[in-house]
Amino acid sequence: MDAYLIAIAIVSGIYLLLALGLNLQFGLTGLINFGHVGFFCVGAYTSAILSTNGVPVAWSLLAAALVGMLAAWPLGVISIRLREDYFAIASLGFSEIVRLVATSEGWLTNGVQGIAGIPRIFSGVTGQSQAIAMLAIVTVFCVLAILAMRRIVRSPFGRMIEAIRDNEEAVKSLGKDPAGFKMQVLLLGSMLAGLSGALYAHYIGYISPDQFIPFITFQIWMAIIMGGVGRISGTVAGVIILMVFLEGSRFLRDIAPFIPEVAMASIRLGAIGLALMLFTIYRPQGLMGDYTKR
């Protein structure tokens, strides 16, 4: 049981890093990024390629964060000034391109075969202590990211991005260019996604292009929308809900064996869909409540 809980905690942490980035982008700034998984993918591949070629994991993690951030640059340059839903579509397309590149450029990514045997972090220890060490690393990154988010929220920068979320036109009317702020937010969020991807790669040990489908992005969306957009506590709550939901459905099967597993999978997808709809309609502020300052 322990190892299973630790595994869930590690994956939750990896999701939390993704969700914090997305919350910064959407929850705080109003930037609709449907291509988050693209940067996750870039980070995973960067770290996997470097570490399987002998670069120490500490460096490859750093590189993953940087490359994840750099990958967002061209997307930002091209589409950050587009209206919000156009940016959403552009980013979705961008993540699909990333996946195609990972699929097609075999010389770099080993193509459809994927990269196997990615070294674990702390390769010296094994078994349970390895898992605990991994959990510790993930936790440290999550705590750092949360602290960074808190600082941003309380800073003039945070004030400005929230102003952009509330009313972009009004920000322009004050002589401040929203594009610059959005760009920084996109880069930082993508950096977190890149780091998250690297941790994922080292944890799972094997990556291939078909792991980086847009569905991952929408799971994270579901998490931040259910938890409460624009609030860090909401993001954390959302990720926990997502994991309970994804993993809990496995246990549901044990108490409700009359539901065939094949139906279970569809039910899971349907429930994510339903949650997205119901929360947008009836509880748009999410579980943890409105982000209005009190």
Partner 1 sequence: MTLEIKEMSKAYGGLTVVDRVSITMEDADIIGVIGPNGAGKSTLFSLVTGFLDGNGGDVVLDGKPLGNASAVERAQAGMVRTFQVPREFAHMTVRENLMAAAPGQGGENLITTFFRPASVARQEKEIAGKVEETIRFLKLGVVADTPAGRLSGGQKKLLELGRALMTGAKLIMLDEPFAGVNPVLIEELSQKIRELNARGIGFLIIEHDLGALSKLVSKLYVMDRGKLIASGEPAAVLSDAAVREAYIGGGAN
Partner 2 sequence: MNLTRRQTLASLAALAGSGLMPSLTFAQDAGTFRIGALNPITGAGGPYGTGMQKMIAAAAEVVNAAGGAAGRMFEVFAEDTQTQPQAAVLAAKKLIEVNKVQAVLGTWSSGVSLAVLPLASEANIPLFHCSGAPALSVAPANEKKLGYRFQATNDRFGRAFAEIATKEGFKRPATMAFNNASGIGNTEGFEKAWKAKGGEIVASVVYEPAQPSYRAELQKILDAKPDVIVMGSYIADTTIILREWYQTGEENTFIMPAWAGNPELVKALGPDVVEGIISVDSISNEGSPAFAAFDAAYQSAVGHPGLTNVYAAMTWDMVTVLALAMEAAGPGADMAAINAKIREVANPDGKQVSSFAEGKEALKSGPINYEGASSVLDFDEFGDVTPDFAASFIRSGEIKREYVVTL
Partner 3 sequence: MTGFAELLLSGVMSGLIIGLAGLAVTLVFGIARFSNAATGDTMTLGAYGALLGTTLTGSLIFGGLVGLLAGALAAVLSYVLVFRQLANRSPISSLLASIGLAFFVRAGLGLAFGHNQSVFQLDIVRPIRFLDLRIQPNDLKFAAIALVTLVIVFIILHMTPIGRRMRAVADNPLLARVSGIAPRPVMFTLWAMAGAVSAIAGIILGMKTVVSPEMGWDMLLPAFAAAVLGGIGHPVGAIVGGLVIGVAQELATPFVGFTYKIAVSFIVLLLVLLVRPRGMFGRVEGVR
- List residues near partner 3 by CB under 8 A: 30, 32, 78-79, 81-86, 88-90, 92-94, 96-97, 100, 103-104, 218, 221, 225, 262-263, 265-278, 280-281, 284
| Burial classification of residue 6, based on how many CB atoms lie within 10 Å of its CB (0-12 exposed, 13-18 middle, 19 or more buried) | middle
Nearest residue (CB) to partner 2, 174 versus 256: 256
**Three-class SS of residue 125?**
coil
**What is the number of alpha carbons within 13 Å of residue 180 lying toward its C-beta?**
7
Candidates 82, 89, 249, 276; binder of partner 2 (CB under 8 A) is 249
- The whole-angstrom separation of Cα 207 and Cα 140 is 23
> What is the biggest distance separating any 2 CA atoms in the chain, rounded to whole angstroms?
62
- 233 binding partner 1? (CB under 8 A): no
Candidates 123, 155, 167, 266; binder of partner 2 (CB under 8 A) is 266
| C-beta of residue 219 within 8 angstroms of C-beta of residue 65 | no
Q: Which tokens belong to 285?
A: 């502020």
- 184 binding partner 1? (CB under 8 A): yes
For helices 127-153 and 2-22, the axis angle rounded to 10 degrees is 20
- 107 binding partner 2? (CB under 8 A): no
Residue with tokens 């994510």: 272
- 133 binding partner 2? (CB under 8 A): no
Length of the chain: 294
- 267 binding partner 2? (CB under 8 A): no
Which of partner 1, partner 3, partner 2, none binds 181 (CB below 5-8 Å, type-dependent)? partner 1
Nearest residue (CB) to partner 2, 36 versus 182: 36
Nearest residue (CB) to partner 1, 207 versus 232: 232
Of residues 146-165, those binding partner 1 (CB under 8 A): 148, 151-152, 155-160, 162-163, 165
DSSP state at residue 118: P
Could you count the other beta carbons within 10 Å of the beta carbon of residue 158?
17
- 276 binding partner 2? (CB under 8 A): no
Which of partner 3, partner 2, partner 1, none binds 108 (CB below 5-8 Å, type-dependent)? none
- 200 binding partner 2? (CB under 8 A): yes
Q: Could you tell me which of 145, 69, 127 has the C-alpha nearest to residue 137? A: 145
Site residues, partner 1 (CB under 8 A): 148, 151-152, 155-160, 162-163, 165-167, 169-177, 180-181, 184, 188, 230, 290-294
